[in-house]
Amino acid sequence: MAYRNFLPSARATNIILVLGGFALGWAIYMRYALVEQSAIGLACRGMETMTCETREMVITLYGYSVFGIAAIALAVLQFIRPSVALFTAALMATAIGVVMYNNNLSALAAGLLLISFARPWRGATA
């Protein structure tokens, strides 16, 4: 039985674009509004607000390359067994990883996501 290559439907593509744009926007906001601003870092020294805790969590996750590792892990799973949900999660993690300084692993994940379009897909309708 022959399978078609991985290609999400038009409706799934729209959802992927919206979620990918949301992830990219969140990462840009976190990087440029909270992480890189020295005034925010100084203000967060003695405070325990939700913004400061989120900033510290993102900095800690960056230190362990969690964004890049998540992107590459999800992209490898997408490459092995393509699905729309995995592709969406991998795209979101890749977008966050590229913006949040985990460029090497996230760029590799983006390449794997592109190659996954050539993989046979069992979820395709004939």
**pLDDT digits over 10-67, tens only?**
999 999 999 999 999 999 999 999 999 999 999 999 888 999 999 999 999 999 999 9
Residue 4 belongs to a domain: no
Residue 122 belongs to a domain: no
**What is the number of structural domains in the chain?**
1
Over residues 104-126, mean pLDDT:
85
Per-residue model confidence (pLDDT) at position 126: 55
Residue 50 belongs to a domain: yes
Long-range contacts of 84-93 (CB under 8 A, 24+ apart): 84/8, 84/12, 84/16, 84/123, 87/6, 87/8, 87/16, 87/113, 87/116, 88/15, 88/16, 88/19, 88/20, 91/16, 91/19, 91/20, 91/23, 92/19, 92/20, 92/22, 92/23, 93/23, 93/67
Per-residue model confidence (pLDDT) at position 24: 97
Residue 51 belongs to a domain: yes
Residue 15 belongs to a domain: yes
Residue 55 belongs to a domain: yes
Residue 3 belongs to a domain: no
| Residues of the domain holding 40 | 10-117
Over residues 77-105, mean pLDDT:
94
Residue 123 belongs to a domain: no
